[in-house]
Chains A and B, each alone.
Chain A
């Protein structure tokens, strides 16, 4: 039996003190985002998710989604749990009011998404995929397509999918071969097989809207020849009612390590006749660009599953560590015993988990805030500046948070000892569910390449330079905040200096030999995440210290914020700083041994 309590206090702390709700409410369109409203949204969404989604997490894992007679059946209770979220209007909150959405800032949506991913990561994927489809349709779709598909995807009445992957085209999307042929009526006919399609088929909703990448005739090879299509499971009549079944067949479902309740399908398009009916999104051969629109939010959402699973694993490990009595504490009398939380090594694990979860939460919420600024700020230059910043943070949110999600859930197993390895404890599921985060929506290796290859140089390096500038700018405040902030200050300065050096090295060497930079991409992403995490926690600690001075009654929580930031700075940040070596070591030792000689 596992437990979960929505981390409302920490979410609120970050929203109020790190982001600043007033800055959100100052954006045109977000005037309604007042503290009371945000509190109510987090409270009530958290309550519904905890009461309705969470109890199905483990039963869903055991039962899994299953393919029966060609259609997918989700685990018992999932349809109802999904419908309750739809009915309460939660799935529509990110979207514009003109289509019936709630027009909530990405920052607030992110807080809700974290809770959804903690209570039931499999089910949380369904709305995340719909959001990807919606983002693409809203930004690039014709008015006609929007008219038919947007509203019902938005409310959650229908769900969306993202159909990219094919057997020979995973990380290399450009290798896909699914074909799109023009039909006489202006629509298209899609033929091909897609694999690993999340929620590619299910029984939660009456229709499923596939967004499919395919090649039109005479397109150039690679990513330049890809177009994006809408392919509904059931065709939609002019009056909006559902018509004939489209020619999309669920060939099989994968047996997975985790997120077992989330159906992962092999879909065959156009197997029966001349092709599934599809409709072109935007222009031909622009599919790759549209795909990035589709993936952007999705990447942040995947990152959130790292935060969320880290949080729930930590909550359970913390509770267990206070119950499980084992061994004599060092220095205590012969017959004394202690709950394991009394042991230094268990404390180290718990503090590591706590600090990392809080750091990830701060970074992902900052990422979402940057998206809000990039979309809603009245000044174009500011919008552009935040767009670059959001773009820079997105691969870090995705890869760093999912890597840490795996580490934290693994550590939670460790805290449980042998019981943690036993399925009934519920702990293995968190770890198994976390493992996918590093793989889909672009593997973490691909995220690191995206970070150094596209996001660092974008805008002349403005985003990374701005970030480094911000990190240096709190030095004075840290110096003035008293002795307790000393280690934080010096260690953060070391980290930022190393980050600057690593960034410079990548810029220099990446130009001469991109493979040199590629060799350091993953340690660089980790370094950036770790140093940024230290910076956000230091800022949190400064805010906490200020609130304490002002006499805030929330003394224990705020003191803990400061101590958590100290722990992170002293115990975790140096590991990030030390990555300067690996980042700048270059490719030489990676390629020194011939593949033929790499065996033993």
Chain B
């Protein structure tokens, strides 16, 4: 199967994210890392490709920078990457993002598109749904397990109470929840090989997409400081008060 995995480079979460004071966009350093949640998608993509003697292409939109994050995914074993780095798309909303990714995915050709449920720096969580709609293919969302059953794809869709079994015939879009598979560690050979794997850097125009950012961030406000916790002085009855609080919180 031809698998396309949507991945995103984000600033290293180890250092605090900062916003540009003028544009209100997230500041993106040269060196960005692969969003950790995308490692699961890449792992599932690689597994499907291995089972079907297929291939894995990565599609990513955002400032290319040093491409470090993309190389991390290539080092895991993906075959090639398309990176759409277009200054006109800085701060694009989710629909614009979905349009651009859809164009790149269509150009690659696919049987399965895999994406995370949401990115760690944006958290909009709707791009994969929009891609499925734009591609006009079924969406298998919140997959915690993916099986190929003959020519159908069956997933276990994570729910609050357990999981649903959902099936579709490819082509389809799958979203993968974090932590459901163990992403492989890149091997040394994989890292060496990633150096020479093709990374195609294109603009939206080259994909034939004329969409613009689609939104303007007019103001950003800091989240309210978390209120200080309640200190309970123990005068012999603290345990009762704690039980009461836990009951209010409906945890007991």
Using a CB–CB cutoff of 8 Å, the interface residues on chain A facing chain B are 32, 34, 36-37, 39-41, 43-45, 47-48, 51, 84, 87-90, 92-93, 102
A sample of 12 more A-B contacts (CB under 8 A), given A37-B191, A48-B185, is A34-B195, A36-B66, A36-B195, A40-B194, A44-B185, A44-B186, A88-B185, A88-B187, A89-B187, A89-B189, A90-B188, A102-B189
Give bound CA distance, A523 to B141, whole Å: 68
Contacts of A90 in B (CB 8 A): 188
Contacts of A87 in B (CB 8 A): 187
Q: Are B188 and A88 in contact (CB under 8 A)?
A: yes
Contacts of B31 in A (CB 8 A): 39
Judged by a CB distance under 8 angstroms, whether B71 is at the interface is: yes
Give bound CA distance, A34 to B72, whole Å: 15
Given A36-B68, A39-B68, A40-B71: A84 and B185 within 8 A (CB)?
yes
Q: Are B192 and A44 in contact (CB under 8 A)?
A: no
0/1 string, B168-195, CB within 8 A of A gives 1: 0000000000000000011111011011
Judged by a CB distance under 8 angstroms, whether B75 is at the interface is: yes
Give bound CA distance, A39 to B71, whole Å: 11
Minimum CB–CB distance from B136 to chain A (whole Å) comes to 38
Give bound CA distance, A43 to B187, whole Å: 12
Q: Are B191 and A93 in contact (CB under 8 A)?
A: no
Using a CB–CB cutoff of 8 Å, the interface residues on chain B facing chain A are 31, 66, 68, 71-72, 75, 185-189, 191-192, 194-195
Question: Total A-B residue pairs with C-beta atoms closer than 8 Å?
Answer: 46
| A102 touches which of B66, B72, B186, B188 (Cβ 8 Å) | B188
Tell me whether chain A's interface is mostly helix, strand or loop, or mixed: helix
Contacts of A40 in B (CB 8 A): 68, 71-72, 75, 186, 191, 194
Minimum CB–CB distance from A33 to chain B (whole Å) comes to 11
A-B contact pairs, 24 of them (CB 8 A): A36-B66, A36-B68, A37-B191, A37-B192, A39-B31, A40-B68, A40-B72, A40-B186, A40-B191, A41-B191, A43-B72, A44-B72, A44-B75, A44-B191, A47-B185, A48-B185, A84-B185, A87-B187, A88-B185, A88-B186, A88-B188, A89-B188, A93-B188, A102-B188
Contacts of B72 in A (CB 8 A): 40, 43-44
For the complex of A and B, 7 pairs with smallest distance between CB atoms: A89-B188, A88-B187, A48-B185, A40-B191, A89-B187, A44-B186, A89-B189
Minimum CB–CB distance from B9 to chain A (whole Å) comes to 14
Chain B residue, CB-CB nearest to A41: B191
Minimum CB–CB distance from A429 to chain B (whole Å) comes to 26
Contacts of A102 in B (CB 8 A): 188-189, 192
Contacts of A51 in B (CB 8 A): 185
Chain A residue, CB-CB nearest to B66: A36
Give bound CA distance, A524 to B194, whole Å: 47
Contacts of B186 in A (CB 8 A): 40, 44, 88
Interface centre among B68, B72, B75, B185 (most CB of A within 10 A): B185
Contacts of A92 in B (CB 8 A): 188
Q: Are B192 and A32 in contact (CB under 8 A)?
A: yes
Contacts of A88 in B (CB 8 A): 185-188
Chain B residue, CB-CB nearest to A8: B14
Give bound CA distance, A92 to B195, whole Å: 19
Chain B residue, CB-CB nearest to A102: B188
Contacts of B188 in A (CB 8 A): 41, 45, 88-90, 92-93, 102
Minimum CB–CB distance from A222 to chain B (whole Å) comes to 43
Give bound CA distance, A88 to B188, whole Å: 6
Minimum CB–CB distance from B75 to chain A (whole Å) comes to 6
Contacts of B71 in A (CB 8 A): 36, 40
Give bound CA distance, A90 to B186, whole Å: 10
Contacts of A47 in B (CB 8 A): 185
Interface centre among B68, B72, B186, B188 (most CB of A within 10 A): B188
Q: Are A37 and B185 in contact (CB under 8 A)?
A: no
Give bound CA distance, A245 to B243, whole Å: 66
Interface centre among A32, A37, A84 (most CB of B within 10 A): A37
Contacts of A89 in B (CB 8 A): 187-189
Minimum CB–CB distance from B192 to chain A (whole Å) comes to 7
Contacts of B192 in A (CB 8 A): 32, 37, 102
Contacts of A34 in B (CB 8 A): 195
Give bound CA distance, A218 to B71, whole Å: 60
Chain A residue, CB-CB nearest to B184: A88
Contacts of A43 in B (CB 8 A): 72
Contacts of B194 in A (CB 8 A): 40
Chain A residue, CB-CB nearest to B75: A40
Give bound CA distance, A37 to B194, whole Å: 9
Give bound CA distance, A296 to B1, whole Å: 51
Give bound CA distance, A89 to B189, whole Å: 7
Give bound CA distance, A446 to B187, whole Å: 39
Chain B residue, CB-CB nearest to A89: B188
Give bound CA distance, A539 to B232, whole Å: 54
Interface centre among A36, A48, A51 (most CB of B within 10 A): A36
Minimum CB–CB distance from A65 to chain B (whole Å) comes to 25
Q: Are B68 and A37 in contact (CB under 8 A)?
A: no
Chain A residue, CB-CB nearest to B195: A37
Interface centre among A36, A39, A40, A84 (most CB of B within 10 A): A40
Contacts of B185 in A (CB 8 A): 44, 47-48, 51, 84, 88
Chain B residue, CB-CB nearest to A104: B188
Minimum CB–CB distance from A305 to chain B (whole Å) comes to 22
Chain B residue, CB-CB nearest to A100: B189
Give bound CA distance, A41 to B68, whole Å: 12
Chain B residue, CB-CB nearest to A5: B14
Give bound CA distance, A211 to B91, whole Å: 62
Minimum CB–CB distance from A24 to chain B (whole Å) comes to 16
Chain A residue, CB-CB nearest to B76: A44
Give bound CA distance, A88 to B195, whole Å: 17
Chain A residue, CB-CB nearest to B31: A39
